[in-house]
Amino acid sequence: MINETHDAGLRSWVASANTPGTDFPVQNLPFAVFRRRGSAEAWRGGVAIGDQVLDLAAAHATGAFAGEAAVAAAHASAATFNGLMALGPRYGSALRLALSRALREGAAQAGSLAACLVPQREAEYTVPARIGDYTDFYASVHHATNIGRLFRPDNPLMPNFKWIPIGYHGRVSSIGVSGQRFRRPKGQIMPPGESAPLFSACRRLDYELEVGIWVGQGNALGEPIPIDRVDEHVFGLCLLNDWSARDIQAWEYQPLGPFLAKNFATTISPWIVTLEALAPYRTAWSRPAEDPQPLAYLDGEGVRKHGAIDLQLEAWIESAKMRADGSGACRLSHTSLRHSYWTVGQMVAHHSVGGCNLQPGDLLGTGTQSGPSLDEAGALIELSAGGKNPVSLPNGENRTFLEDGDAVILRGWCERKGFARIGFGECRGEVLPASGD
DSSP state, 298? G
User: Is 252 assigned to a binding site?
Assistant: no
User: Is 154 assigned to a binding site?
Assistant: no
Cα-only R_g, the chain: 22
User: Is 68 assigned to a binding site?
Assistant: no
User: Is 368 assigned to a binding site?
Assistant: yes
User: Is 36 assigned to a binding site?
Assistant: no
User: Is 276 assigned to a binding site?
Assistant: no
Strand partners, 239: 211
Alpha helices in 268-403 (DSSP H): 301-306, 320-325, 344-353, 380-383
User: Is 104 assigned to a binding site?
Assistant: no
Catalytic residues: 143
Q: Is 425 helix (H, G, I), strand (E, B) or coil?
A: strand
User: Is 281 assigned to a binding site?
Assistant: no
The one-letter amino acid code at 163 reads W
Render the burial of 120-145: b for 16+ CB within 10 Å, e for the rest. beebebebbbebbbbbbbbbbbbbbb
DSSP state, 233? T
User: Is 249 assigned to a binding site?
Assistant: yes
Residues 6+ apart with CB under 8 A from 417: none
User: Is 253 assigned to a binding site?
Assistant: yes
Query: What gap in Å lies between CA 302 and CA 12, rounded to an integer?
Result: 33
**68-70-72 Cα angle (round to 5):** 70
User: Is 262 assigned to a binding site?
Assistant: yes
Minimal CA–CA distance to 414: which of 351, 338, 307? 338
| Binding annotation | 136, 138, 152, 208, 210, 242, 249, 253, 262, 266, 368
| Binding annotation for Mg(2+) | 242, 262, 266
| Binding annotation for Ca(2+) | 136, 208, 210, 242
| Binding annotation for substrate | 138, 152, 249, 253, 368
